[in-house]
Amino acid sequence: MWWEIKDHLEVKNGELYIAGHSAINLAEKFGTPIYVYNGVRVKENYRRFLNTLRKFSDRDVRIHYSMKANSNPGILRILREEDAWIDSVSPEEVKLAINCGFDEQKILFTGSSLSHEDLNEIRDIKLRVNVDSFSCLSKLIELGIKKELSFRIDPGIHGVGQGWRTITAGREAHGVPIKFSIPSDEVIHAIRFAMDNGYSIKGLQEHVGSNWVRKEEVDEFLEASRLLVKKAKEVEKELKVKLEFIDFGGGPGVRYSEDQDDFPLEYYASNIFKIAKDIETDAIAFEPGRYIVADAGVLLVKVTDVKIRYGSIIIGVNSGFNHLIRPVLYGS
């Protein structure tokens, strides 16, 4: 089968094996439905991603694992042992990461539509806030919450994603305005406002969309990244700020069907550092989620019903979109 991966997900004599364990045995032992993750595969994906980027990098590479992709504590602990950083979206995620051993200072908090309550919850945690709107910044000032900041920027061109629902930059996708990020032409103003209020600015970040596997999609991401670096230089020049990091967000995809290719990791890595060399920072950060975990797990279900409807075979199972919502929600 095209989706088999040696020593991870294999069919032997008509039976599925995960990391050498028979799926049937696992189902019998633990019951179904059950998610099964292979920690070794998580590690392999993480190391492949990091090492390929390092090969082309002239400085420190930080991988902020985007824990919204999978916040299973076992997976988080593995990535902590690998020395990953964290991209988090809510106070709950932040607390979970800390409980799994992540250093507070290695957590970047990028919420969108954060409430006063959300911000109060992270008041005493030494994370960095990645500001995605003026209103977030005003709330921080109003609440007297002092943090080191970075800013999430909409580079100003159409984002790139598997479908319109996973495009997170540009004015709009499919007629729907994009809610994320500060528009590129408002960023200097926002950062100046933060500095005037005593905040220290550490980085700029983008996340333009999710799940790309084709080179043309990577090219669109690279185009957006060029604009991000251009803006970062403008920020440094106009505001006399020295940025510690630029963060290019997540988005690298995985194969979901036979006609797709694997993500062109070398192409992505070599080209992003050609762009990053235009600005000096201590570190370059990335926020992969799906790439690290998507192919590391399976959902095992039990067949409960087989029936013929209008010439097609329908197979019913003891699970539903309560356990696997993305195909229904996102058309994934």
Residues forming the site for ligand PLP (CB under 6 A): 66, 68-69, 87, 110, 207, 210-211, 249-252, 287-291
As measured in angstroms, the least distance from the Cβ of 162 to ligand PLP is 9
For ligand PLP, the closer CB: 88 or 271: 88
| Rounded least distance, CB 238 to ligand PLP, Å | 25
Q: How far is the CB of 22 from ligand PLP (least distance, A)?
A: 30
CA dihedral defined by 190, 196, 201, 207, rounded to 10 degrees? Answer: -10
- Per-residue HEC secondary structure of 201-245 comes to EEEEECCCECCECCHHHHHHHHHHHHHHHHHHHHHHHHHCCCCCE
What is the rounded CA–CA span in Å between residue 111 and residue 205? 13
Give the β-pairing of 15-18 and 9-12.
antiparallel
Cβ-based nearer residue to ligand PLP, 202 or 207: 207
Residue 288 Cβ vs ligand PLP, minimum distance, rounded to whole Å: 5
Tokens of 282: 């201590």
Residue 26 vs 227, nearer CB to ligand PLP: 227
Residue identified by tokens 């992003």 is 272
C-alpha–C-alpha distance, residues 152 and 330, integer Å: 24
Enclosing H/E stretch for 313: strand 312-317
Nearest residue (beta carbon) to ligand PLP: 250
Shortest distance, CB of residue 216 to ligand PLP, whole angstroms?
17
Instruction: State in angstroms the smallest separation of the CB of 67 from ligand PLP.
Output: 9
Q: 172 pairs with which residues across the strands?
A: 177
Residue matched to tokens 């991209």: 87
Residue 294's contacts (CB-CB under 8 Å, 6 or more residues apart) are 69, 254
